[in-house]
Structure 1
């Protein structure tokens, strides 16, 4: 890994302009633009939503006012009129249970997927054997096998976490495999010429080279797990955001459904931002080789 760190450090020292090389005003303008554009898109979305609800084209059951959804958010997040949140749980408790399931499933799926990708990328015949099975699993929608998992594992936590792990495994495995296969041959040969063993070549050349693409696979794996949350919490999913969405939809409670959807989306954005921050610090050589 030191090879990649040295290259990244050298490039940063020789190619990247220092903090004083750019006008301070230009830097602030860029930062304000990056912050203002997402905020502007939210304002535009809210205005279009308000106009659509006020137009009367759709029934309030289908397109409620933003204020109605906000009241549902407050109701689900607090105790009101003797009712605690939704189904006896506050919104943060639903979100906590969902995130706990997602974390467990993602950790299991990503760990197996990355290990599988390293092996598949290094051993050609094993890649030929396992790649069709990964493609088969990746093509299956979660609901296609969730009911089978319920039959095998019951309706407690096991089928939910297993489903999320199976959703996260293929993206991590495929991305890692592709990254290992694409590791620079010249650097590998140079390391061997200097007397490095196969294990050292994998540790110091192949793994650092594969890390950027592997992080991309991990981000995709988290997204796949998140997209499977509602399916994973179809049975005995309360407390849980997916269970909340499913239960509210049974009663055409669109405001609560939207609250659950926004909770999943916003928490997903936060998690993806954290992963990108970790990636920037863990793989400083990305784009510099």
Structure 2
């Protein structure tokens, strides 16, 4: 029997069949397909739960189990959302046209709040990360830890009156309040990250002749970065939960200020619309921070 296989130099095998992917490439492809299928299942589950929640909400309001003053229908909330983003008559039959709510569209209220949160959280990072590094590596940790715990234990609402008395009702007091909400978790996470650095790694670079600054930049900071990013996510969450309190006084434009004002006017449809916008914006920010964490610390969670 003669061998009819021909080596053409193009990677073919006996019978002219192309080689099948084997080894690492095949395993990686299977892993990618499995992850893609898992993401699709999670997306389907989230979509189904959201649709189910809206259907239950609609059914409760349709059967009038709760008064519309307390729980407006999904349609009423959608109408309030559309009205807040368009020009419309000030009242039915009126010729006077107003712009959104309080002369700002809803997205402009959201952007104003995001700007305040961004400044407050950025200040929390600028102060919290260096302070956490100092407290985690020097005697300042023993000295300042009680004060950090004191600030961390106080609810941000406790500062509102004092900050208004110090800085007035402008943006300065609001940014300070958001800073005080975001700073403690960032500082605490940084301290935790520094204390989690392996001592043998530090000793290894010191043995090789590295200075304290080089040790900090090549070992301590990379090892601490995952904890810092976790603290940043927690700090952003705390800032979002504080935004309504920050914008109680003179908070227009601001999504928190609009929600507070609408609640005082018993416009629950607009309040719920603001709450939904705040929630989705917070989820989007958290997802963005998750992707940032994956990009900056891809080794996290890998053995």
Counterpart position of 2:83: 75
User: Secondary structure of 2:28's match?
Assistant: coil
Query: How far off is 1:16 after superposition?
Result: 10
* Higher share of residues assigned helix: 1
Report the RMSD for the aligned CA atoms in angstroms.
1.8
1:117 to 132, 141, 153: 132
User: Secondary structure of 1:42's match?
Assistant: helix
Counterpart position of 1:172: 186
Q: How many residues align?
A: 274
2:230 to 197, 208, 216: 216
Query: How far off is 1:198 after superposition?
Result: 1.6
Q: CA offsets per residue over residues 91-130 of structure 1, 9 Å max, x none?
A: 011011100101111100121111111111111x211121
Counterpart position of 2:56: 48
Query: How far off is 1:141 after superposition?
Result: 1.4
2:122 to 96, 104, 107: 107
Q: Structure 2, unaligned stretches of length 5 or more?
A: 1-22, 90-96
Counterpart position of 2:152: 138
Counterpart position of 1:253: 267
Counterpart position of 1:195: 209
2:143 to 129, 132, 146: 129
Counterpart position of 1:148: 162
Higher gyration radius (CA): 2
Taking the aligned partners of 2:207 and 2:241, their CA distance within structure 1 comes to 46
Q: TM-score, normalised by structure 2?
A: 0.86
Are positions 1:275 and 2:289 aligned together?
yes
Query: How far off is 1:239 after superposition?
Result: 0.6
Taking the aligned partners of 2:146 and 2:24, their CA distance within structure 1 comes to 43
Name which structure has the greater RCO, CA cutoff 8 Å, separation 6+.
1
Taking the aligned partners of 2:25 and 2:256, their CA distance within structure 1 comes to 45
Taking the aligned partners of 1:140 and 1:40, their CA distance within structure 2 comes to 39
